[in-house]
A and B are shown apart, each in its own frame.
Chain A
Amino acid sequence: MSNKNSTLGFDKVYVINLKRREDRRETLLKENPEIDFTFIEAVDGKEVVTKELQEKGLLDSSFYDPTGMVTTGIFACALSHKKAWDQALEDGVDNALFLEDDIYFTVPFIKNGKLTSEYINILNELNNIHWDIVQYGKKSATSAGIEVSPNFVIPRYKTNFNGAHCYGATKNMIKTLSDKCLPVKYAADVYIERFYNTHNIINLKNSLVRQKSDVVDPSNADSDTYYNDYRESGGKVGISFDNKGNVINKGIAQYIKHPKDIIDEHVQIVIDKYHFGKQKFNKNSFFGISDMLKHLSNFSNDNSKMIEINSHTGESTFFFACSGLFKNIYTIDPYTGKDEFNISNKNTWEDIQIAYSHNTSNFDNISHFENKLEEVVHNFDNIFFTYINNRKKENLKPLIDSILPIMSKEGYIGGYGPVEVPVSKKFSDGSWIININSLY
């Protein structure tokens, strides 16, 4: 550790400060005239645009948070910490203390140019521990964990309140933090906590540096306190979705996924994955399917039933339901197996199921079977129309043969994609239909 008292035993003390928050800078300097701060101009959450961050590789397609909290302010805060780490690396420090600009020291660390005896004890203990990150304050007043010295504990992962408003880091750790943080997937404090399991992160048992917004008096929380977005939007602090599970922050989150393992994982906020309309909702597809349905309307009746095979995200299902031609629509998709669309779009089958649910949620005449066709085909009869999404570009002849027994004699088989059987009619988007009679 450095013997420089004005930097509290560290090589440097960096403070992340928004350019437009000169007031915070002045307050910090006024309250701590003996500390030599190095100010880092923070990235402003009011100026960043999610899409631009993603295009620059600064933000991941998913964001993970213990409670599902997400705002542009959080992204900007994470990027500001990265900026501070990079500055520290450029300055060649062996270690550094990183502060956010709305902190206060609950006890003095320095008085009349000398470190206080309490703080000297802390530094002495630190010198006897192989630490990577030392946290001088959390969002809670105390930290629990395994005691490594009278003042320090090794905190349990995900059991202490977060906070990245005051922490020291060694040179190697600063480099690790900087190297691994892009694209941003976590808030700065959550990101730091990820290293609990791989590095020696120690916390002061009693938080000696607090963030003004964490104290009980809400007047201390000003407009740049990151969770004020929630207060303004009427959401609960720390929760980005309401009690019905609706995402409040729709400007950022496409949908959320709850953790499959509650011990290990955070809520996944999907920022830029598949969303309604991305695959087929274009002019060609719209008019192609529309023309096909218009054609079928000449032959359907009020009791017509249809099946869609490989309904995937349910986009064409949405068209079929909108047409009002069918009393019942049965969709069949086992949601398993290799699918080129899923792979190229980095979608999981779970994503596809979520998209299907979105696309079909407004219709009550749609029933889904999460099975292979052969497992459920015997459940149907007198089907007017079967639509096959030939996603794997398979030979359709055996499949058509297998559904013929359940089809009405006056019915039709339609589809999208390659087909080796002669078709009755083709449409502008490549869709086709076959009159059942022509197959006998």
Chain B
Amino acid sequence: MKLAAVTNYTGKGLINELAIFKHLYNALNITEADTFNFRDVNAQYYINDNYTHLIICYDYKVSSAQLYEEFLKEVTIPKIFIVDTIAEKHRELNRESILKYTPGFPEGFSALSKSKQNKLYNDHADALVFFNDNDKELFENYYKVSDNILKVTIPPALGKEENLNVKLDGIKTNNRIVYNGIPSYANGIDTVGNLIIKFKDYNLDIFGTHGRLDFFNEFLINSITSSVPHINFRARLKNEKLVYSNYSMYLFLPTYDTFDFFTYKCILNGVFPILGRNSNTLTYIKDYPFTILPQSQNFEYTVQLIKKSKPETLKNILKKQENNLKLLSNENILNQYTNLINKL
């Protein structure tokens, strides 16, 4: 088994996706030399000659499938598509957010249509990999792909098992809260803004970029930061260690998410995530206690709980997650992919 990957995620300013794919490639022993772009001239023939399977990580935020079609029609080895999120769900959320905040504003959501995605999968996929079961179910609500295409849930990898240990000396309590990712409606940035506005003693620093080119993100974040002085946008995070040493909590209240990599990184580095109860990120840390509904009282209670709990209790909470996170080790994920590939 020798895997290649083809992607167009690089150079798009994405944060979560890049972290996910970087670690997934590591787990699957896909090196930089084994990673191709859809624009690499004649790469398909090199892939056919040198690899057994192709992992496809494509961005749904494109205006045409032509590039993908042209590339994939030349690939003769089995193709595994990573469905890292459900495009149609994002289309709905975009509509919802515009109706909520700027009714009458053009939708301006450019992404592959349902029919184009259906065609892409039906014409080229041998298997589809989802990051959680909820996404798999959601996908089947929107798309119609042949039953001959295998559909499995395999989460992304977090790293080598030996490195997935919680750094308990990183635990701290202060009023500094952080978020790292695309400040979007799907990622709940408006929910966070509406919640934090009342808690003037807490500073929320948001790291990230525009990502996925949505104009609406800019509108949202500018509205929030201009009306809530204790929320600041800090641009792209250049040094993760600064987060782990300066902030005690990570706030993520998504409307829809699939797998928030940074949540798990925070747990491993002693920063407490406060997660929305409907977050799919909870799939792999099911018994994690600091989950909330986006309500002031709920938030306040949880924050106080984190601040007033004994250090030993907090350490135990994080330590308990260590075993969950080890299930997302490179070794485990590689095994799951190997099982999948054996079925193709």
A264-B41 Cα distance, complex, nearest whole Å: 18
Mark the stretch among B113-121, B171-179, B231-239 that contacts chain A: B231-239
Q: Are B215 and A156 closer than 8 Å at their CB atoms?
A: yes
Which residues on the B side are within 8 Å of A262 (C-beta)? 63-64, 110
Q: Are A131 and B235 closer than 8 Å at their CB atoms?
A: yes
Q: Are A343 and B42 closer than 8 Å at their CB atoms?
A: yes
| A19 contacts B by Cβ under 8 Å | no
Knowing A154-B209, A156-B210, A197-B11, the reply to whether A260 touches B218 (Cβ < 8 A) is no
Q: Which of A130, A337, A348, A350 contacts B238 (CB 8 A)?
A: A130
**B 205-229 binary contact with A (CB < 8 Å = 1; else 0):** 0000110010101100110011000
| B144 contacts A by Cβ under 8 Å | no
Q: Among residues 293 to 348 in chain A, which have CB atoms less than 8 Å away from a CB atom of chain B?
A: 336-338, 342-343, 346-348
A348-B41 Cα distance, complex, nearest whole Å: 6
**A 43-70 binary contact with B (CB < 8 Å = 1; else 0):** 0000000000000000000000000000
A349-B66 Cα distance, complex, nearest whole Å: 13
Q: Are B236 and A200 closer than 8 Å at their CB atoms?
A: yes
Q: Are B73 and A336 closer than 8 Å at their CB atoms?
A: yes
Q: Are A146 and B11 closer than 8 Å at their CB atoms?
A: no
**B 174-199 binary contact with A (CB < 8 Å = 1; else 0):** 00000000010000000000000000
**Count of A-B contacts with CB under 8 A?**
88
Which residues on the A side are within 8 Å of B209 (C-beta)? 154, 197
The interface residues of chain A, by DSSP majority, are classed as loop
Q: Are A199 and B236 closer than 8 Å at their CB atoms?
A: yes
A338-B215 Cα distance, complex, nearest whole Å: 41
Which residues on the A side are within 8 Å of B11 (C-beta)? 194, 197-198
Q: Are A148 and B13 closer than 8 Å at their CB atoms?
A: no
Which residues on the A side are within 8 Å of B33 (C-beta)? none
B120 to chain A, nearest CB (A): 14
Which residues on the A side are within 8 Å of B213 (C-beta)? 156-157, 263
Give the B interface residue count (CB, 8 A). 36
Which residues on the B side are within 8 Å of A148 (C-beta)? 232-235
Q: Which of B41, B73, B218, B222 contacts A347 (CB 8 A)?
A: B41
Q: Are A264 and B42 closer than 8 Å at their CB atoms?
A: no
| A145 contacts B by Cβ under 8 Å | yes
A194-B13 Cα distance, complex, nearest whole Å: 10
| B99 contacts A by Cβ under 8 Å | no
Knowing A147-B222, A156-B213, A156-B215, the reply to whether A349 touches B235 (Cβ < 8 A) is no
B39 to chain A, nearest CB (A): 8
Q: Are B183 and A146 closer than 8 Å at their CB atoms?
A: yes
Which residues on the A side are within 8 Å of B217 (C-beta)? 146
A405 to chain B, nearest CB (A): 30
Q: Are A146 and B74 closer than 8 Å at their CB atoms?
A: no
A338-B75 Cα distance, complex, nearest whole Å: 10
Q: Among residues 219 to 263 in chain B, which have CB atoms less than 8 Å away from a CB atom of chain A?
A: 221-222, 225-226, 232-236, 238-239
Q: Among residues 246 to 274 in chain A, which have CB atoms less than 8 Å away from a CB atom of chain B?
A: 260-264
Q: Which of A154, A200, A263, A349 contacts B110 (CB 8 A)?
A: A263
Q: Which of B41, B48, B73 contacts A338 (CB 8 A)?
A: B48
Q: Are B13 and A260 closer than 8 Å at their CB atoms?
A: no
A200-B232 Cα distance, complex, nearest whole Å: 16
Which residues on the A side are within 8 Å of B1 (C-beta)? none
Q: Are B222 and A346 closer than 8 Å at their CB atoms?
A: no
Q: Which residue of A lies closest to B110 (CB)?
A: A263
Q: Are B45 and A263 closer than 8 Å at their CB atoms?
A: no
Q: Are B42 and A129 closer than 8 Å at their CB atoms?
A: no
A197-B208 Cα distance, complex, nearest whole Å: 11
| B61 contacts A by Cβ under 8 Å | yes
Q: Are A346 and B13 closer than 8 Å at their CB atoms?
A: no
> Chain A CB within 10 Å — which of B42, B61, B70, B183 has the most?
B42
Q: Are B63 and A263 closer than 8 Å at their CB atoms?
A: yes
Q: Are B218 and A156 closer than 8 Å at their CB atoms?
A: yes
Q: Among residues 134 to 156 in chain A, which have CB atoms less than 8 Å away from a CB atom of chain B?
A: 144-148, 154, 156
Q: Among residues 157 to 213 in chain A, which have CB atoms less than 8 Å away from a CB atom of chain B?
A: 157, 194, 196-200, 202
A156-B61 Cα distance, complex, nearest whole Å: 15
A405-B140 Cα distance, complex, nearest whole Å: 49
Q: Which of A154, A264, A346, A348 contacts B235 (CB 8 A)?
A: A154
Q: Which residue of B lies closest to A194 (CB)?
A: B11
| B12 contacts A by Cβ under 8 Å | yes
A226 to chain B, nearest CB (A): 26
A354 to chain B, nearest CB (A): 14
| B8 contacts A by Cβ under 8 Å | yes
Which residues on the A side are within 8 Å of B12 (C-beta)? 197, 264
Q: Are B236 and A348 closer than 8 Å at their CB atoms?
A: no
A348-B71 Cα distance, complex, nearest whole Å: 10
Q: Are A198 and B13 closer than 8 Å at their CB atoms?
A: yes
Knowing A148-B233, A199-B236, A263-B63, the reply to whether A337 touches B42 (Cβ < 8 A) is no
> Chain A CB within 10 Å — which of B12, B73, B210 has the most?
B210
Which residues on the B side are within 8 Å of A347 (C-beta)? 41-42
Q: Are B74 and A261 closer than 8 Å at their CB atoms?
A: no
| B344 contacts A by Cβ under 8 Å | no
Q: Are B235 and A202 closer than 8 Å at their CB atoms?
A: yes
A264-B222 Cα distance, complex, nearest whole Å: 24
| B62 contacts A by Cβ under 8 Å | yes
Which residues on the B side are within 8 Å of A194 (C-beta)? 11
Which residues on the B side are within 8 Å of A130 (C-beta)? 234-236, 238-239
A338-B236 Cα distance, complex, nearest whole Å: 42
- 23 CB < 8 A contacts A-B: A130-B235, A144-B218, A145-B218, A146-B217, A147-B233, A148-B232, A148-B233, A154-B210, A154-B235, A156-B215, A156-B218, A197-B11, A202-B235, A261-B66, A263-B62, A264-B8, A337-B74, A338-B48, A346-B42, A348-B41, A348-B42, A349-B70, A350-B70
